[in-house]
Amino acid sequence: MHNDMFGTGPEGKKRPKVWAVGGGKGGVGKSLVSANLSICLSLMGNKVTAIDLDLGGANLHTCLGVGVPEKTLSDYVEGKISSMEGLVTPTKIKNLSLISGAQDAMGMANLRQMQKNKILANLHEIDSDFVLVDLGAGTSVNTLDFFIAADNGILVVLPEPTSIENTYRFIKAIYFRRLKMIEELLEIQPLIEQAMNAKISSPGNAPTEFVRKIIEINPEMGMRLKNEISKIRLKLVVNQVRSQADIDIGFSIQSICKRYFGIEIEFIGYLDYDAAVWQSVKKRRPLLMEFPNSRLVNNFEKMIQRLLGIR
C-alpha cells in the first residue's frame, strides 16, 4: 500500500523500504514484531533503522536491548535537533540502529499536522535499506497516516475477541482514511462519510455494498473508488498462538476482509506462544539473540521471507 509521500531521496539517493507495524490495541506485541523483524533484516546484511513511533509509550529500545536513548523524537519535533539522522542510536546488533520515541507524554494523537509531515518527509532520507516503524495502538489520524504511507503495513493481532474486534476497527479506519485522502473522490465524500459512520454489524452496511451503490450511481467514480481500494494491501501477523484454531484466525480475518471490505490481506505468519519472550524482555536482551533456538526464530524467518517475496 505504497504512497507517493516516499519517492527517491535527495539527489536520487536510494530510498529505504518503509515497513510500519500497527495494531488495534496495546499489548499485542507490535514492539516485539518490529524489533525482531529489524534484527532478521540486519542479520541478512541489510542496513536497518528501527523507529519507535509509539509516542508516549516508547519501549522498542527495551526489545532491542538498548538503554533509554538520550535523544528522542521529542527533540526533533521540538526543533532541538535538525535532522532525524541526528537521533540515530546504534544497537549492539551489527547494521541495526534505533530512533527512539518520546519518553514524555507526547501522544501520537497530539502530533500536529506539520510535525507529522516533517517526520513523514524525512523517513525516506534515513540512510538505510529498511526503516521499520513501530506505531502506537489505536486509530488516531496520525497513526493511520504513518501506516498508510509505508510500503508494507503490518497488523499484529492476538487470538482473542477484543483484539480481533479492534483489528477490524483498525482496518475500517485505514480503509476510510485512505479514501478521504483522495482528491478525485471529493464529490462522493458525503457518501464515504455516511458509510464510515455506519455500524460494522448492520446488514447492507458493508463497504463492498457502498462501492456497489456508487458504481450504480456513477460508474466512472465507482471504478475509480474500486481501483483505490485495490491498492490497500495489508499484512497480518497472529501473535501468541497456542493451537491450530488460533492460527486459523488469521485465515478467517483474511476472508472476512475480502468479503466485507473487498481488500486483500496477506496472512504472513504467526508467532508461537513462548515464555522466552518475557524472559528476554526481563533481561533487556533481544529475543532472537538471547534465545536463538526458540521456535519464534523460525516464525520470524518465514515472515521475513514472505515480506521479501522469497518463497
Q: What is the pLDDT of residue 8?
A: 45
pLDDT band at 2 (very low <50, low <70, confident <90, very high): very low
Q: What is the mean pLDDT of residues 93-116?
A: 79
pLDDT: which is higher, 203 or 302: 302
Tally the domains of the chain. Answer: 1
**At residue 32, does pLDDT exceed 80?**
yes
What's the pTM value of the predicted model, to 2 decimals?
0.90
What is the model's pLDDT at position 264?
92
Neighbours of 43 (CB within 10 A): 17
Any idea what the CATH number is for the domain that residue 97 is in?
3.40.50.300
Establish if 5 belongs to a structural domain: no
Is the residue at 258 inside a domain? Answer: yes
With respect to residue 271, please indicate whether it lies within any of the assigned structural domains. Answer: yes
pLDDT, position 3: 43
Which of the two residues, 259 and 205, has the higher pLDDT score?
A: 259
Percentage above 70 pLDDT, the chain: 90
Whether residue 74 is contained in a domain is answered as yes
* Residue 294: per-residue pLDDT: 87
What is the structure's pLDDT at 9? 45
Q: Between residues 80 and 54, which one has the greater pLDDT?
A: 80
Judged by average pLDDT, the poorest of 25-39, 52-66, 113-127, 150-164 is 52-66
Would residue 3 count as lying in a domain?
A: no
Q: Is residue 38 part of a domain?
A: yes
pLDDT tens figures, 149-183: 999 999 999 999 999 999 999 999 999 999 988 88
Tell me if 4 is assigned to some domain.
no
Structure-model confidence comparison of residues 248 and 2, the more confident one:
248
Enclosing domain of residue 90: 10-307
* CB-based contacts of 94, cutoff 8 Å, min separation 6: 42
- pLDDT tier at 6, thresholds 50, 70, 90: very low
Percent of the chain with pLDDT strictly greater than 90: 46
| Residue pLDDT, tens place only, 195-232 | 888 776 666 678 888 899 899 988 998 999 988 898 89
Does residue 1 sit within a domain?
no
